[in-house]
Amino acid sequence: MLVTRTPYRSKTDRNLSWLFVLPVILILLVAAFIPLGWGAWLSLFRYKLNLPAARAFIGLKNYLDIFTDELTMLSLRNNVIFASLSVSVELVVGVTVAMMLSDDSKLFRGLISVLMIPMIIAPVVSGTLWRMMADRTYGVVNYLLSFLGIAPVSWIGDPKLALYTVTFVDTWQYIPFVAVLVLSSIKALPTSFLDAARVDGASPWKVFWRIILPIISPVIIIVAMIRFIDAFKVFDTIFVMTQGGPGNATEMLPTYIYRQGIKFLNIGYSSATAIVFVISMSLIAWAFSRLRDRQLRRLG
């Protein structure tokens, strides 16, 4: 991605080059590198902010505790369900919609603008909005479903349903993201070989399934990776819709780390969980990019 150019060797330019990147390095140092390193360091301590005297170095004990902490495991389980379910639905619907809107027409261009609205509004707004609509008594969702003869459902209050409700909201918000990205890669396809396929008499479904889908699969894999990681990082939606409840039914890793660190001031432990989170995400990203490389090689 970075092409080196060989400019004139002047001293002023060399100094200016450094001066230009200096602010960025300073900002990242203060707001990203130092906090990350500090977090890793804190994760080795038993450290509760409300009991500062009890601070003690305990090595990797916090990390071992993660695996015996039922709440962490529950948050992990919820998070995996949330991420896999929302991403799969987003991919299926997103790709379908992208295909349907890929033909050039004024109507479709207008629809694409509308399609983009959910993905750019603040998640905190979509969360509050759906929290309002999904209310058991005053919510419009139950009202609309009553016309189909469905009795009022407690979308947020029922521990069995709440997880799927927040998953739905995430899906609602990010189907457009998938659709827009896939759409731009479909539009970038050369028309020539699609014409060839048509001349050969392939049905539109076959063209989609046998030609388009394999060719755009590397893009789909990357979009899936981005969405999967972002879904694991979910915070705003949960924060306003359920606060992790009812009980712990919608607790996710980020909200749990928030609760441990900011609410319970259990700094050592929450830092350890955070570090494990970063490592797991990197592994997932690595796996996805391996998958994409394999797919790219297969396509030649």
Partner 1 sequence: MRTRGMRLGNFLSLPVRIVVLVVLFAAILFPFYWLISNAFKMEQEYYHSPPIMFPSKLTLQNFQDIVLKYGLPRGLLNSVLIATGTTACTVFFGSLASYSLVNGMLPRRLKKLFAGWFLIQKMYPAIVVAVPVFYIIRTLRLMDNVLALVLMNTSFNLPLVILLMVGFFQEAPYEVEEQSMLDGCNLLQRYVYVTAPMVRAGLIATGMLTFVASWNELLYAVILTIVRAKPLTVTIAGFITDKALVWGPMAAMGCVVILPVLLIMWLMQRDFISGVSAGALKA
Q: Which of residues 140-199 bind partner 1 (CB under 8 A)?
A: 140, 143, 146, 172, 175-177, 180-181, 184-187, 191, 194-195, 197-198
For residue 266, CA distances in Å to 51, 62, 223 come to 9, 11, 35
Any idea what DSSP says for residue 209?
I
**For partner 1, which is the closer residue by CB, 3 or 148?**
3
As given in the structure block, the two tokens for residue 107 are: 């109507």
The span of 53-61, 63-71, 159-167, 200-208 binding partner 1 (CB under 8 A) equals: 200-208
- Per CB under 8 A, 31 contacts partner 1: yes
The span of 50-58, 61-69, 70-78, 138-146 binding partner 1 (CB under 8 A) equals: 138-146
Query: What kind and span of H or E run contains 278?
Result: helix 267-299
- Per CB under 8 A, 212 contacts partner 1: yes
Query: What kind and span of H or E run contains 89?
Result: helix 70-100
- Torsion, CA 19, CA 22, CA 23, CA 25, rounded to 10: 160
Q: Closest separation between CB of residue 79 and partner 1, Å?
A: 11
Which one of 8, 50, 53, 151 is in contact with partner 1 (CB under 8 A)? Answer: 8
Contact 232, 167 (CB under 8 A): no
Which one of 61, 63, 88, 128 is in contact with partner 1 (CB under 8 A)? Answer: 128
Which one of 62, 75, 86, 130 is in contact with partner 1 (CB under 8 A)? Answer: 130
Closest CA to 29 of 21, 19, 18: 21
Cα-atom radius of gyration of the chain, to the nearest Å? 24
Residues 219-238 as x/- pattern, contact with partner 1 by CB under 8 A: x--xx--x--x--xx-xx--
Which one of 55, 85, 118, 295 is in contact with partner 1 (CB under 8 A)? Answer: 118
For residue 55, CA distances in Å to 48, 68, 155, 163, 257 come to 7, 21, 42, 36, 19
Please tell me the distance from the alpha carbon of residue 84 to that of residue 223, in angstroms, as a whole number: 13
CA 296 to chain centre: 23
As given in the structure block, the two tokens for residue 237 are: 């939606």
Q: Closest separation between CB of residue 184 and partner 1, Å?
A: 5
**For partner 1, which is the closer residue by CB, 164 or 239?**
239
Q: Closest separation between CB of residue 170 and partner 1, Å?
A: 14
- Per CB under 8 A, 244 contacts partner 1: no
The span of 6-14, 67-75, 82-90, 159-167 binding partner 1 (CB under 8 A) equals: 6-14
The span of 50-58, 61-69, 70-78, 218-226 binding partner 1 (CB under 8 A) equals: 218-226
Q: Closest separation between CB of residue 234 and partner 1, Å?
A: 8
Number of residues counted as binding partner 1 (CB under 8 A)? 115
Which one of 45, 72, 87, 131 is in contact with partner 1 (CB under 8 A)? Answer: 131
Q: Closest separation between CB of residue 63 and partner 1, Å?
A: 15
DSSP 150-163: PPP--TTT-HHHHH
Which residues in the 54-113 window bind partner 1 by CB under 8 A?
A: 93, 96-97, 99-104, 111, 113
- CB contact burial 3-16 (16+ within 10 A = b; e otherwise): eeeeeeeeeeeeee
